[in-house]
Amino acid sequence: MEKEIETLRKELNQLVEEASHLYSEEVVKLSQELDRLIYRYYEKTLIA
C-alpha cells in the first residue's frame, strides 16, 4: 500500500505542477484516491 500511495502522490504532484490541469477531474480523482489509500494505511497501522 505504501508503494501505491507514493505512486499516486507523484502523479498528483506532476499534474498540479502543470497549471492547465490544476482544476481537471483527473487531479480531483487522484487526490480522492490518494486520500482513501492514506486513510486505509493509517487505519491499519493504528489498529496493528
Distance from C-alpha of 46 to C-alpha of 4, rounded to nearest angstrom: 19
Residue 39 vs residues 17, 21, 30, 35: alpha-carbon distances, Å: 24, 25, 14, 6
The pLDDT value recorded for residue 23 is 66
pLDDT tens digit sequence for 1-48: 789 888 888 887 787 777 665 567 777 888 888 899 889 888 888 876
Distance from C-alpha of 9 to C-alpha of 27, rounded to nearest angstrom: 11
Distance from C-alpha of 15 to C-alpha of 24, rounded to nearest angstrom: 9
Distance from C-alpha of 48 to C-alpha of 25, rounded to nearest angstrom: 35
Q: What is the pTM of this model?
A: 0.62
Question: How many domains, in total, are found in the chain?
Answer: 1
Domain hosting residue 17, numbered range: 2-47
